[in-house]
A and B are shown apart, each in its own frame.
Chain A
Amino acid sequence: MSILVNKNTKLIVQGITGRDGSFHSWKMKESGTNIVGGVTPGKGGQTIHDIPVFDTVEEAVKATGANTSIIFVPAPLAADAILEASEAGIELVIAISEGVPTLDMVKVTPYLKKKGTKLIGPNCPGLISPDESLVGILPGNIFLKGKIGLMSRSGTLTYEMVNQLTTSGLGQSTCVGIGGDPVAGLYYQELLQMFEDDPETEAIVLIGEIGGDAEERAAQYIKEHITKPVVAFIAGQTAPPGKRMGHAGAIISSGTGTAEEKIAAFESVGVPVARKPSEIPELIKKLLN
């Protein structure tokens, strides 16, 4: 078991003929992901890495029975691509595109809710259930199948953490990069609940960063709903206030969203917070014993 993606994932790639879309389709396929189709308007009928390309998501879904879509289109077109996937009945949409205007995401949210579409991202590295399905741009070779569920607002920091876990012999059930934007799809609370409900996951790693109060809310949610052990890490302890640290969401303004507040919130509900990534495996092992 795992969450969100698994052996039954049938993936289409929106923007498959672009540079990133094409490269990562090949990487995902190589790692064993079941990619059933791609979509690029005007390029229907072509194939890329032996994957059939369609003009619309609707056609792709009809022809292949796809249930998941990953989006690589340029940021100005991303919101429309998300809507197109949702309208065509895709259950899970992963938006990799970086730099999507925040109001575009505000506008698509009610429609996704109405259709019951799950969204991850935008501006995220995607997710992986090791040995089952990789949907994203994560380097597949650092993951190890196992019992740790991981969620993170950052890409490369996730790899750093996963590498620490894998080299310590701690495999992962599913690792989800939720993205660094202020308005995004599935977030800590939903994922915490999925990991809680997943019989295979035994412990959860939450990697947060400065900005907003999602970590504080996650801490509250853990206190009320999560029985499995959770370990956290917060990036940005030394970030100066008011500056955007690469991620649009990672901005500390007006004294809220600082690392100290987030660390305090987790520790107050009994979630240990690692001061450096290398402490994570030990903290987990301690909690599991």
Chain B
Amino acid sequence: MKIHEYQAREIFARYGIPVTDWVLCYNEAEVTAAVEKIGLPVVVKAQVLTGGRGKAGGVKFATTLEKAQDATRNILGMKIKEYTVEKLIVADGVEIKSEFYVGLTIDRISKSVLVMASKEGGMEIEEVAKTNPDAILKYPVDPDLGMTPFLARKIAFALFDDYALVKQAASILQKLYQIFIDTDATLVEVNPLVITDKDELYAIDGKMTFDDNALYRQKEIYALNEPTEDELKEIQAKEKGLSYIRLDGSIGCMVNGAGLAMATMDMIKLYGGSPANFLDIGGSSNPRKVIEAMNLLLSDKNVKVVMINIFGGITRCDDVAKGLLIALEQIKTSIPIVIRLSGTNAKEGLEILKETDLTVVETMSEAAQKAISLINAKPLKHTAI
């Protein structure tokens, strides 16, 4: 789960990390009031749940009120990737002497929280990682010890020469680590962390993402969730025990297991088709789930053919077949359905489907090829990935 910059700023401020003054605004009048409150110059920044705001023109520096108002008119309503800008912040346009990067994430290799720090602040860290990987310093944090004062100092000394700044940075690092642990974050990033003309450190941007598995114990964080329409569909699916991600192809997929679901999508592409979605119905064989899954698949108007790929382990193929029969009775679709059942109770499952007009195949390759041939039989516009 992601949150907005202004929400990250609120969390930072609550933990005592110095953040430049800001005001959240939804319209020009609020921006005018904000500029009066904060004083010029200011930065007007779009608040959307995606990166690349600067490149898209969603961040503007303004030295006069008129320029701030102009920027507001440009930014509100602007589209950044798939997000429409509905709110922005007006932030203090402090004088910057230099910019740094500090980020905390989880490292799969050391199985610990990893601090990344760099003097190349302000740029996207992924860019730095590609062009100048040595400029990113990495420090794993021992989970038993946490961010000790000496580790925080060590990292700070690697970034700053002035001891006054080292002390400020070490304190910020300890607070960032505490935030990471307290909120079950997967990423806490300050980019840039700046030295102002008064030789003080400030966070002038913040990015945070959170562990979806831990949201059950992070009620305050979860309350900040602003899902997009597609994400809302994904959340609703998850509540029903389904894992759904919409894509832009024409073959609707229903598979049990995430890995097999991905491999199924790959197979469709390998044979020249394009998947309309990722849909993992999980390990249970409740027929209700199959019904929900069919409803979800067919709610996507791009779907021209449905491909079901089940390898029964815990999932029993006969239960899937039963669910499918009930679903088809309820939904009454003319969309062709290709189904492959293998594994636990496959024979019984196939027996149940014998009287239907579903296309039954034996392997995953066959299922993909058959599904594609059924789309090609009709005049459709083909969506490439």
Q: Name A's B-contacting residues (CB within 8 A).
A: 75-76, 99-107, 109-110, 125, 137-139, 142, 152-160, 163, 180, 182-183, 207, 209-210, 212-214, 217, 233, 235-240, 243-250, 254-255, 259, 275-278
Contact = CB atoms under 8 A, between A and B. Distances in A.
A183 B208 CA distance: 19
A110 B143 CA distance: 7
A224 B142 CA distance: 29
Classify the interface of chain B: helix, strand, loop or mixed. Answer: mixed
A139 B258 contact: no
Interface stretch (B11-19, B160-168, B209-217): B209-217
B365 interface: yes
B266 A238 contact: yes
B258 A154 contact: yes
B343 interface: yes
A185 B195 CA distance: 41
Given A154-B260, A246-B278, A183 B111 contact: yes
B365 A276 contact: yes
Given A76-B216, A139-B344, A245-B245, A156 B256 contact: yes
Nearest to A233: B263
Given A235-B259, A236-B266, A159 B214 contact: no
A270 B264 CA distance: 26
Contacts of B243: 245-246
B111 A100 contact: no
A249 B364 contact: no
A258 to B, nearest CB: 12
Given A107-B143, A110-B143, A110-B144, A157 B263 contact: yes
A154 B214 contact: no
Interface of B: 106, 108-109, 111-113, 126, 129-130, 142-144, 181, 184, 186, 211-214, 216-217, 243, 245, 247, 255-263, 265-270, 274-275, 278, 280, 283, 311-315, 342-344, 363-365, 385
A200 B342 CA distance: 29
A138 B207 CA distance: 40
Nearest to A242: B50
A235 B262 contact: yes
Contacts of B113: 106
B326 to A, nearest CB: 23
26 contacts: A103-B106, A103-B184, A103-B214, A107-B143, A139-B313, A139-B314, A155-B257, A156-B256, A156-B311, A157-B263, A159-B311, A159-B313, A160-B263, A160-B311, A160-B364, A163-B342, A207-B259, A210-B262, A235-B262, A237-B266, A238-B275, A246-B257, A246-B280, A248-B211, A249-B108, A277-B364
A244 B212 contact: yes
A136 to B, nearest CB: 10
